[in-house]
A and B are shown apart, each in its own frame.
Chain A
Amino acid sequence: MLLLIGSFLVLMIVGVPVAVSLGVASLAYLVIYGVAPDIIAAQRMIAGVESFPLIAVPFFIFAGNLMNIAGVTGRIYQFALSLVGWMKGGLAQVNIVGSVVFSGMSGTALADAAGIGTIEIKAMKDHGYPVEAAVGVTAASATLGPIFPPSLPFVIYGMMANVSIGALFMAGVVPGVVMTTLMMVTVFIFAHRKGWGSDTPFELRRLASASLEILIVLCFPAAVYLLVLAGLSINVAVLIGLVALVALDWYFDFSAVMALMTPVLLIGGMTMGWFTPTEAAVAAVIWSLFLGLVRYRTMTLRTLAKASFDTIETTASVLFIVTTATIFAWLLTVSQAAQMFSNFMFSLTDNWWTFLIIVNIVLLIVGAFLDTIAAISILVPILMPIAARYGIDPVHMGLILTLNLMIGLLTPPVGVVLFVLSRISKLSIERTALAILPWMVPLFVALLLITFIPQITLWLPTQFGLIK
């Protein structure tokens, strides 16, 4: 076991690609200890990605990439500016609201940081905010990407831990709102202490129209519900609702209604059993194709091909890790690592919150060093059986795991979001890390709340009957 974990860590630190490190460590263990014929590794690798739920991964990435070229970016920020631009520290608030809207369309933190982060940081810098503040807000708000549905880490966690992906998506909503609120409060405090002014004039008309857009999006499910009560079949009701919405949007030219609809359609479709997570991902792709090709007409065949290639690249680099991590995780189970860890935990404590404190500390350390997907694939087989013995809901565990790993993306030595932001802002890694530091406070408060108040996570999916 020492050979397995040790060689993986050494290889990874030396700079061997994470997937290859996992593969080499597993194969070495297999060959040296002869636990099983090495040919099983080949079978595990293929079986690791031959799964229908995993198909959701490329399509959620694709939907996010398409949204970036669908011409919604400018509209979303116009919406965010109308909504919160007048507050003190307006652009920082806009940054957060923009990320929230985007996280409803993409499922990754990196897409948030690298895609819209570039323009957010530039806009804040151009309007007199210190670069450090811009970097900090962008980093913190990027963590919302995988918490608000859709979310790629949830898909992979759901597959590994055998948990309903729909329930996980639903569970992410309230924690996402809690995190957003905490971050906005942080911006408010910063704005007061540093004397940030507002960036756009306060106009009641704009605020009202932006609020109206949110209201329209929220009315959609209500309208569908009423139509169903009126005796229509659910399919017809949704279709009528969609046609009416598109017509309204065409007539009034809303800024963000179409973008805000994405998570509503996904969540609604999955909770009503309309589609599986995989089909939801394809629905998101079709929705963004509709926006880019029909509604806003900004896509061309070339940009479409480029977006597909980018998607394949991200998918392959992420799922190739899953292929070799599958062998690694299997060997961890075979070598009784999970059993040993479990016994060790129970010798330490038998109440669930001490266990969760230890898990959080372990996860924060692991997250600072390990890639998200590798961490999920390795840790799930170890943590799940223990969490079950402590009576912790697997959905709750998924939220804790993901949030910890997202915080890990912001911390040195290995933090992808940290690296990307340092490149965008042209600050050194050290200065970027320092700039992010104060913005860790709302994230840690959120982590504590989510860890110790399971209801934050479990209330919504329980209401919808997704978990018992």
Chain B
Amino acid sequence: MNEQQHAPISVEEMAHAFEEEVGPVDLSPYAVEDWVNLAIFWAMAICVFLQFFTRYALNNSLAWTEEIAANCLVVVVFLGSVMCVRMMRHIQVDFIYQFLSPKLRRALELVVDFIVIGFFAYTTWLMWRYIAIVGNERMVTVNLPRGYVFYTVFAAFALMLARSVQNFVKDMINEKTVREEASESGAQGI
């Protein structure tokens, strides 16, 4: 019944098996909007740190950090979502695709693409109308227009629409679909 039989080896030697080899980092797949988003992400980190720091070191917490950080999060989520659309990294369920013939699978993917494009078109329009109502609001703790956030979210939805159309066109032209490329780079979720 012995499935595994070998002499014990030393901890040092064994620990080598757990060392990860790190390959060179490839930053080329990231687009302009992603780098903008990176800056906002770090700005959010600095805001939260500032809040903590001013409270303990200066005994006088800056009120605006919380609101700015929360607004940064809104931007990070929607702009980051553009990246997920482009790379097909949004969380989705594709288990029924295993049971379909390639032709049927392709047809279903087209249907999904249409639904996604339609959704982003509708939400872009929705955001546009929303801005018309609340675009002039100002933030509570600092005298800044909230329009910055709303227009960025609107831009993010417009970009999601553009990127999903772009992927659709790519799929029409290229041999390998964006989905197939995405499926090679691992799963998403928590």
Residues of A within 8 A of B (CB): 11-20, 23-24, 27, 38-39, 41-43, 45-46, 49-52, 54-55, 58-59, 61-62, 68-69, 73-74, 77-78, 81-82, 85-86, 90, 98, 107-111, 114, 119-120, 122-123, 126-130, 146, 152-153, 193-201, 203, 206, 235, 275, 278-279, 281-283, 285-286, 300, 302-303, 305-306, 308-309, 311-321, 323, 369, 371-373, 412-414, 416, 419-420, 423, 429
Evaluate whether A302 and B27 lie within 8 angstroms (CB atoms) in the complex, with A69-B22, A318-B91 already known: yes
Q: Are A420 and B115 in contact (CB under 8 A)?
A: no
Q: Which among B70, B92, B149 has the highest number of chain A CB atoms within 10 Å? A: B92
Residue of A nearest to B67 (CB): A52
Task: Find residues 88-122 in chain B having any chain A CB closer than 8 Å to their own CB.
Answer: 89-98, 108-109, 111-112, 115-116, 119, 122
Out of A52, A128, A200, which one reaches B3, CB within 8 Å? A128
Residue of B nearest to A190 (CB): B3
Evaluate whether A282 and B187 lie within 8 angstroms (CB atoms) in the complex, with A20-B119, A128-B5 already known: no
| Inter-chain contacts of A14 with B (CB < 8 A) | 96, 108, 111-112
Q: Are A81 and B93 in contact (CB under 8 A)?
A: no
Evaluate whether A50 and B71 lie within 8 angstroms (CB atoms) in the complex, with A206-B11, A372-B190 already known: yes
Evaluate whether A58 and B69 lie within 8 angstroms (CB atoms) in the complex, with A200-B9, A313-B80 already known: no
| Inter-chain contacts of B172 with A (CB < 8 A) | none
- B159 at the A/B interface (Cβ < 8 Å)? no
- B130 at the A/B interface (Cβ < 8 Å)? yes
Q: Are A81 and B30 in contact (CB under 8 A)?
A: no
Evaluate whether A313 and B92 lie within 8 angstroms (CB atoms) in the complex, with A55-B73, A59-B45, A318-B190 already known: no
Task: Find residues 138-187 in chain B having any chain A CB closer than 8 Å to their own CB.
Answer: 149-150, 153, 186-187
Q: Closest approach, in angstroms, between the C-beta of A395 and any C-beta of chain B? A: 20
Q: Closest approach, in angstroms, between the C-beta of A257 and any C-beta of chain B? A: 16
Residue of A nearest to B56 (CB): A235
| Inter-chain contacts of A309 with B (CB < 8 A) | 27, 30, 34, 38, 83
> How many residues of B are in contact with the other chain, CB < 8 A?
83
A309 to B18, CA, bound (A): 25
- B60 at the A/B interface (Cβ < 8 Å)? no
Q: Are B6 and A127 in contact (CB under 8 A)?
A: yes
Q: Are B119 and A316 in contact (CB under 8 A)?
A: no
Q: Are B84 and A316 in contact (CB under 8 A)?
A: yes
| Inter-chain contacts of A120 with B (CB < 8 A) | 18
Q: Are B6 and A128 in contact (CB under 8 A)?
A: yes
Q: Are A313 and B84 in contact (CB under 8 A)?
A: yes
| Inter-chain contacts of A61 with B (CB < 8 A) | 190
A129 to B17, CA, bound (A): 14
A194 to B3, CA, bound (A): 6
A-B CB contact pairs (8 Å), 29 listed: A12-B92, A39-B126, A42-B126, A43-B130, A43-B134, A49-B77, A58-B41, A61-B190, A85-B14, A108-B189, A108-B190, A146-B190, A203-B11, A282-B45, A286-B49, A302-B27, A303-B22, A312-B37, A312-B83, A313-B84, A313-B188, A317-B89, A320-B84, A372-B190, A373-B189, A412-B95, A414-B93, A423-B187, A429-B98
Residues of B within 8 A of A (CB): 1-6, 8-12, 14-20, 22, 25-27, 30, 34, 37-38, 41-42, 44-45, 48-49, 51-52, 56, 66, 69-71, 73-74, 76-81, 83-84, 87, 89-98, 108-109, 111-112, 115-116, 119, 122-123, 126-127, 129-130, 133-134, 149-150, 153, 186-190
Q: Are B17 and A78 in contact (CB under 8 A)?
A: no
Q: Closest approach, in angstroms, between the C-beta of B127 and any C-beta of chain A? A: 6
| Inter-chain contacts of A153 with B (CB < 8 A) | 190
A69 to B153, CA, bound (A): 32
Out of A52, A201, A312, which one reaches B10, CB within 8 Å? A201
| Inter-chain contacts of B27 with A (CB < 8 A) | 302, 305-306, 309
Evaluate whether A39 and B130 lie within 8 angstroms (CB atoms) in the complex, with A16-B112, A49-B74, A420-B186 already known: yes
A128 to B149, CA, bound (A): 55
A371 to B119, CA, bound (A): 20
| Inter-chain contacts of A20 with B (CB < 8 A) | 90, 115-116, 119
Out of B8, B18, B115, B126, which one reaches A197, CB within 8 Å? B8
Q: Are B18 and A119 in contact (CB under 8 A)?
A: yes
Q: Are A311 and B112 in contact (CB under 8 A)?
A: no
Q: Are A59 and B48 in contact (CB under 8 A)?
A: yes
Q: Are A285 and B188 in contact (CB under 8 A)?
A: no
| Inter-chain contacts of B127 with A (CB < 8 A) | 42
